[in-house]
Structure formats: C-alpha cells, structure tokens
Amino acid sequence: MLTQDQAAKAFPDEVVTKAVTRLVKAPGFAKPVALITIDNGHDHTRPSTFGPQGLVSLNAALDEAFAADPAAIAVTGKPFVFAVGADLSGVEQVADRQSAVDIAQSGHDVFRRFTESAVPTFAFVNGAVMGGGLELALSCHYRTLSDNTAGIALPEVFLGLFPGWGGTQLLPNLIGPDAAVTVIFENALSQNRMLKPKQAQDLGITDVLLGSADFLEQSLLWAADVVNGEVSVSRKEIDRGAGWDAAVERAKAIVQGRTKGASPGAVKAVELLELARGNDLTAGYAAETEALADVLMTDPLRAGLYSFNLVQKRAKRPAGAPDKSLARPVTKVGIVGAGLMAGQMALLFARQLKVPVVLTDIDQSRVDKGVSYVHEEIDKLGAKGRLSPDGVNRLKALVSGSLDKAAFADADFVIEAVFEELGVKQRVFAELEQHVSAECVLATNTSSLSITDMASGLAHPERVVGFHFFNPVAVMPLLEVVRAERTDDATLATAFAVAKALRKSSVLVKDAPAFVVNRLLTRFMGEVVKAIDEGTPFEVADRATEPLGLPMSPLVLLQLVGAPVALHVAETMHAAFPDRFGVSANMRRFVEAGKSAVWTWDGAGNQSVDPEVAALWQFGPTELTGEQVRARVLDGVAEEIRIMLDDGVVAEAQDIDLCLILGAGWPFWLGGITPYLDREGISERVNGKPFLAPGVASVPSA
C-alpha cells in the first residue's frame, strides 16, 4: 500500500477524494455502524474518483472504522454520486511499469479489506457508480442501490482497459460468467451502454433496490435486518463448467467482432475472465495487477485516455464557439422535408427542446407520413415505459405538419432536410426567407455541399449555418456545426446552444467540402475502392484495415451509408479536389444497377461477394496485398488531415479525432486517428512531422 507521500508524488495533480468515517446509531443495531462517506469536495457535476491519495484516504477511513468495533461498516457517496472509478487524468503521469504496479496493487489492497472483513460490510450505492466505484461496491459483502441511480457500468473495455481492481474476478462469481460478459464486454463495447437500476437488480449486482427519498435510512434498516438474521441474501449458483466455457467463447467473439483484437485491454479481460473460474482472489488479483501494469504502459491505452479526455472535456467546450450569451432563445422549430431523416430530427427536437415542431413537404401525403412516423415512434417510447401516457400525448401534440411555410412565421430555428442538390436547397432557403422572422436561424443538414453557396442569394446570409447530424440521429452523438463565410456569431451561438440542448457534442467546422467526417471517410473509402478497381480482390481490400479495429469494414460501411450517397459525396469531393478524390466508374455502375451491397450472407453467416456485383465490376491488372492497401489508405488519410488542418477546417488535430470518435464510431484505443498515425510513423513519413506533441496519447519516452 502506498504511503501518503508516495501517493502525492504518484499523481501530483490529483483531485483528492477523501473518505470520512462517522459512527451512526441506527435502529436495529446493538452497536454503532461505521459509515464511510466518499467525497471529492465538488458538486455532482464532478463525480468522485480514486487516485493514489484517494485510496490512502479510504484505507485510513477503514482503519478508523475497524478501531471503533462497529456492528457493520458501510460505504456511501456524496449526493447523487457513489464513485466513478480510477482517476484517469493521472494515468498519463505514470512513467514506468513499477509505478503502474504500485497503483494497481493499492486498489486491490484497500478494496480487499472490505471483502475479507470479519465485520459485515455494505455498499450503500446512492448514485453514479462506474468502474472502480462499482468494483468497490462489489468488494463489499452486501449492496443496496438507489432507484434513481444514473450511470451503472464497468466501462473500462470501452477505453481500451479492463476492470482491474477486482471486477474481472468478483462480478462473474457473483452474477455468473455470461451476465458478466454482458456488463464487462458487450455493454462496454456498445458505446459504453449503461445499466438501469432495475437491470442491475435483475442481474444480481445489487441485493436490494430502495427509494431515493430516504435511501440512507432505508439502507441502514435493511442492513440491520441482514446483520440480525431477519433477511437472508441468496446468491446465484455459478456454472463453472460448460456455462463458463460458453461465456468465455462469447467474450472472445465480442472482442474479435468489435475490436479485431486491436485493444490490449479487451484481450486481457478475456484471459482474466477465464482465470476467474477458479474463484481464487489471491491468484486473480495478482493477475489483474500484472495485467493492469502491462496495459497501462501501452500506447493504445494512452490513446484511449486521450479519447476519453476529448469526449469528456473538449466536446463540452467546443473550440472556437462564440460566447453562449449571444445565443437567441428557440421556442419553435421548423423542418423542411418529412422523410426519414427529417422525422428523426423532429422526434429529437420535440423530446429534448419540448417546443412545437412543424414539418413541411411538397405534398400532403408526405407531410402526413412524416408526422405519422414521429407519432408512432413516440407511441413506441410509451409502450417501452420511457414515457408516461400523459408524456406521450404532450409530445405528440408538439409535432405537426403543414404544406404552407407560413407555419414557420414564429419559428426561431428552421432546418432543411431535402434532396442533396445545391439548387434545390437554394430555392428552399429563398422561399423560407419570405416567411420567417428577421432573426430566425436557417440551418442545413447537408453532408457535403457549400453552405456559403447555399446562402449566397439571400438577403440575410449571416443567419445560415450548417447543422450536420449523423445517422441514426438519436444515437450518434456528434453535430458538425459549420460556419459559412458570412455566418454571424449570434447564429453560431444559437446553433451551439441548440446542439447542447439536444444533448449532442459539437465541433466547429469551416465551410469546406464534406466538412470533416464525410471528407475523411470518402478519402478512406476512395483508396479502398481504387485498389479494387485496379485488380485487388474484394476480400483483400475490405480486410486490409482490420488491424485498426474499426467498427466495420469499408464495404460494410458503404452498405450502411448507402452507395448513392457515397457516390454523390465522392463526386462533390472530386469536383473540389480532383487530384486526391476520384470517382469510380465501377461504383457508378453499381449504383445504376440498383445494388446496395457487395457482400451477401447465407443462413450460417458465411460471407461472399454478390455474383451480380462481381459480374458488373471491371478489374484492372494490378493486385495489391492487404498491407499495401492499408498503407495507401493511411497515407491518404494522413495527407488529407494535414491539408485540412493547414486550411483551418477545424482548430486542431484533436477536433479531427473527436469527429471520428463521435461521428464515425472510431475506437477510443485508436485515439480517433492522429495518435495512431503518429505512433506508426505515418505522419512523419507523409507530412514530415507528427500531428500531436510528444507524449500526448502515447507512453512517454524513457
């Protein structure tokens, strides 16, 4: 266990979480209860975390608790927060493996005292509980959980790490290996999906679910019943044979499918799950400590923490955004178009802004269809219990349709989602300007067209802004907010305020062809398609980028995006930068033939090339290896990023990474893309210099 001085030196910038013990006289107990409260001294917007000094404080609080000879020891958190794990902000300061071992061992040393205590130990989980916070709760003998807890998870594998303070050993032996795979692997690698309190209860993570109003009092009463033998807590019988084998195989399949083996933390987590079968905490914790020290000293883990900081900090304070005080209030939203994308936007605006939303289109049947789609989706939310019957009715009442754009006269924010053709969008904006107020923001969801050109014929081009969603709208967290040449600060500030109200993360982007995500994906995809056109087999080209661990292969991404959309963006980029972006004649034939996918799958999940696609594709004589295709792709992406940064498309490389993480689902352990390009030497080879400063998103040099 680290000393206080050693802990202070290990993480000198740690926001210290202190643990304070007080003795509580509670009904039903013959002796006082030692109640340890974890608190970092901030409000709930900064949850408590554990760095070395926090662990020292918790250890000291335990010493005090045991010295009091209590009837029970309970640990809880400050209002709304139990604890959310290790202090990741200090990991970058760990410069050698022994320091990593010391930190990993300290967590085990403290948490295990709760497990091995002769005095009954309880975790009163009163709020957000993630990572090491959940591992602390699992280390206790019993757990109560507040029914309003937001945020229950073991997110480490999402970050490129693994639960390293007991989670891989305790959880499968508490709730069973298959359920543990769901929490540790499946949820974490599904964009860090959280458990709801009822789900945690059903899995067996918590022993009892209690109301939030008097949670502490009810927890103490329940604990007294347990100590006095009036309540017996049963545990699941664990299958350590075939059931465990099946769970390990499922974990392996999830890791391979989601990471392609590119995340060291995920791979280690599988090994530790297998080890947990023996239910030997000494062996399991020793293995966790060694594995944690190994992973902490890898570049993918540092890149994962870099990504975490981008999402948690930079995304909340977009670089270049105007002062939020300039934002105008938005009390009504208009949407031009009533197709699927428009319907998704309407649902989001209504749910999050709670203001009237009006859709228009070229005929009544389209308007009716769009409004019906939104109302049906609201009904589905009600059926799932996510909205009350009154909530369903109120939300449906907010969404209406009209053929007359005069319905936008009192709207403060109107966004178009019509056909991706510049002339069409120009006509829409010209018509809108005849109906809306002088200060109404006109936004476009275009994925690639010039917003400056779109606004060029308007009397007030300064109020036009790009507001680019990603599909599916409700799921993808990114909004590219695009500033055209004449967009003013008030319009831009309003756009950022609306994005925040929609619970989206925003990046300020210059009005450049295809902005950030689509520009880079088009360059990426273009190099793959070019290799196929030249004669590389579909299988080789599509698998070439597997070592990056991307969420899907290029040709599967093509199917998801839609070939006509991909072709349109490629044509837009070719018109802007013909030397770097080509348009494949094969892709044109593919689209003209009405094909949507290169691959077909049989009932057993076996993948093969669609024979019709193979027949229409005309191959050249040059067959590349996977390594050659990958080099072309990454060299092209590195070149494009440098050009984008030189042209000021975004403020810094960090914004490129943020866009790819949030807008394209690129893995945390890549760091988006620029840390990967730097550590593989690609940035230096292509551009003559790295994108990031030395040590950023990588292990410091010795």
- Residue 626 has what pLDDT? 97
The predicted pLDDT at position 10 comes to 63
Give me the amino acid identity at 432: L
DSSP string, 377-430: HHHHHHHTTSS-HHHHHHHHHHEEE-S-GGGGTT-SEEEE---S-HHHHHHHHH
pLDDT band at 696 (very low <50, low <70, confident <90, very high): confident
How far is 8 from 123, CA to CA, in rounded Å?
Answer: 27
What is the distance between the alpha carbons of residues 207 and 43, in angstroms, rounded to a whole number?
28
* pLDDT category of residue 298 using cuts at 50, 70 and 90: confident
Contact in structure between 204 and 173 (CB atoms under 8 Å): no
Is residue 29 predicted with pLDDT exceeding 80?
A: yes
CA distances from 400 to 355, 383, 423, 549 (A): 11, 21, 27, 43
Q: What is the sign, positive or negative, of the torsion defined by CA atoms of 516, 519, 523, 524?
A: positive
Q: Which CATH number fits domain 4-297: 3.40.640.10, 3.90.226.10, 3.30.70.2860, 3.90.420.10?
A: 3.90.226.10
Mean pLDDT for 157-172 is 95
**In which band, very low, low, confident or very high, does the pLDDT at 689 lie, cut at 50, 70 and 90?**
very high
- Residue 464 in 3-state DSSP? strand
CATH 3.90.226.10 domain range(s) in the chain:
4-297
Mean pLDDT of the chain: 94
CA distance 642 to 71: 64
Q: Across residues 489-510, what is the average pLDDT?
A: 97
Three-state DSSP class for residue 188: coil
d(CA 10, CA 8): 6
Residue range 107-125, pLDDT digits in tens: 999 999 999 999 999 999 9
One DSSP character per residue, 534-565 reads HT--HHHHHHTTGGGT-SS-HHHHHHHH-HHH
Token reading at 594:
């009405």
Spatial distance between the Cα atoms of 32 and 603, rounded to a whole number of angstroms:
63
Contact 331, 308 (CB under 8 A): no
Predicted local confidence at residue 395, as pLDDT: 97
Distance between start and end Cα atoms, the chain:
26
**In this predicted model, what pLDDT tens digit does every residue of 230-277 receive, in sequence order?**
999 999 999 999 999 999 999 999 999 888 888 889 999 999 999 999
The helix or strand, by DSSP H or E, that contains position 99, with its residue range, turns out to be: helix 97-115
For domain 517-648, give the CATH number. Answer: 1.10.1040.50
Q: What one-character DSSP code corresponds to residue 374?
A: H
Identify the residue whose tokens are 């219990």: 385
**CATH superfamily of domain region 324-510:** NAD(P)-binding Rossmann-like Domain (3.40.50.720)
- Tokens 């790819």 locate to 660
Distance CA 645, CA 637 (A): 12
pLDDT tens track for 449-471: 999 999 999 999 999 999 999 98
pLDDT tens digits, one per residue of 33-78 = 999 999 999 888 889 999 889 999 999 999 999 999 999 999 999 9
Helix (H) or strand (E) holding 624: none
pLDDT band at 702 (very low <50, low <70, confident <90, very high): very low
Confidence of residue 694 (pLDDT cuts 50, 70, 90): confident
Q: How confident is the model at residue 700 (pLDDT cuts 50, 70, 90)?
A: low
> Do 346 and 358 meet the contact criterion of CB atoms below 8 Å apart?
no
* pLDDT above 60 (res 701): no
C-alpha–C-alpha distance, residues 65 and 575, integer Å:
71
Angle at alpha carbon of residue 458, lines to 356 and 482, rounded to 5°: 65
Which pLDDT band holds residue 690 (cuts at 50, 70, 90)?
very high
Average pLDDT rounded to a whole number, residues 559-579: 93
CATH 1.10.1040.50 in the chain, residues? 517-648
Single pTM value for the model? 0.87
> Kind and range of the H or E element at 640?
helix 626-646
E strand or H helix at 68:
none
